[in-house]
Amino acid sequence: MRRSLVVGNWKMNGTLASAEALAKGIMAGLGSDHADIAVCSPYVHIPALSQLLKNSKLALGAQNVADKSSGAFTGEVSAAMLNEFGCKYAIVGHSERRTYYGDTNESVAARFCQAQAQNIIPILCVGETLDQREKDETFAVIDEQMDAVVAAAGIAAFNTAVIAYEPVWAIGTGKTATDEQAQEVHKYIRGYIAAKDRSVAEKIRILYGGSAKPENAKGLFAMPDIDGGLIGGASLDADSFLKIYHSI
């Protein structure tokens, strides 16, 4: 039985004060320990949040991690640096990174490996654009995104990783994939892994991301291969994020 996971991706929003208030609001409403929960904050808020979240069930994550371990890489933050501040997770390959900052399948795979080398659980984002979906290329795109990470890290690395299926056309657009559309791709991803290692496939958590909100979370989370969510916009409001968490 896989334990569900809900992760908030705060992106480049808020101030330190608003981040702390949001984290406090979430912690206050966690209630029963029915699933795992985390927030991925901007880098500069991580030190303060790591203090605030100490001993809490709300885990901390980063929105990215460098593809190298250290050295002359201006502007990057290494996995070791994140580890020092208690980050449990790091998102890698978010579509906004792939689209606006040139992250490639290969650099995403390197980030994935860097995170794992510091015992940080990578949350690997995969997903197709609208154009790719319309051309029936969804599964081919997923294959390419997965192949690069499997080539770099090996299939066993997915024992300590999370995958987020995030159709690019659904991110921040208000357009959610239907429960069935999401399930179809989640099942495909699990099948991709099962073809290489059945036990890894049964264990890996595959989250859905893309305009998830309190109104549609229950239906998505009821699907057999959807193990939780990566939540953008709705994670910026404690009440909405908690409603999503409690709908698991």
Question: Nearest distance from residue 58's CB to ligand PEP, in Å?
Answer: 18
CB-CB contact of 221 with 215 (8 Å)? no
Q: Looking only at residues 156 through 215 of this chain, which bind ligand PEP when binding is defined by CB under 6 A?
A: 166, 171-172, 209-212
34 is catalytic: no
Binding mask 110-149 for ligand PEP (x = CB under 6 A): ----------------------------------------
Residues 6+ apart with CB under 8 A from 127: 95, 141, 142, 145, 165, 166, 167, 168, 185, 209, 210
- Cα distances (angstroms) measured from residue 19 to each of 16, 47, 66, 100, 223: 5, 12, 23, 24, 32
Question: Does 153 contact ligand PEP by CB under 6 A?
Answer: no
Q: Looking only at residues 5 through 64 of this chain, which bind ligand PEP when binding is defined by CB under 6 A?
A: 9
Question: Does 232 contact ligand PEP by CB under 6 A?
Answer: yes
Cβ-based nearer residue to ligand PEP, 151 or 163: 163
Question: Does 220 contact ligand PEP by CB under 6 A?
Answer: no
20 is catalytic: no
Among 6, 58, 168, 231, which residue sits at the site for ligand PEP (rule: CB under 6 A)? 231
Distance, CA of 201 to CA of 86 (rounded, Å): 27
- Roughly what angle, to the nearest 10 degrees, separates helices 238-246 and 16-28? 30
Question: Nearest distance from residue 69's CB to ligand PEP, in Å?
Answer: 26
**Token pair listed for 67:** 């593809």
Among 148, 157, 226, 230, which residue sits at the site for ligand PEP (rule: CB under 6 A)? 230
Q: Which of 66, 127, 57 is nearest to 88 (CA)?
A: 57
CB-CB contact of 168 with 130 (8 Å)? yes
Question: Which listed residue (96, 128, 166, 186) is catalytic?
Answer: 166
Give backbone dihedrals phi and psi of 101, rounded to 5 degrees, phi first.
-125, 15
Catalytic residues: 94, 166
Residues forming the site for ligand PEP (CB under 6 A): 9, 166, 171-172, 209-212, 230-234
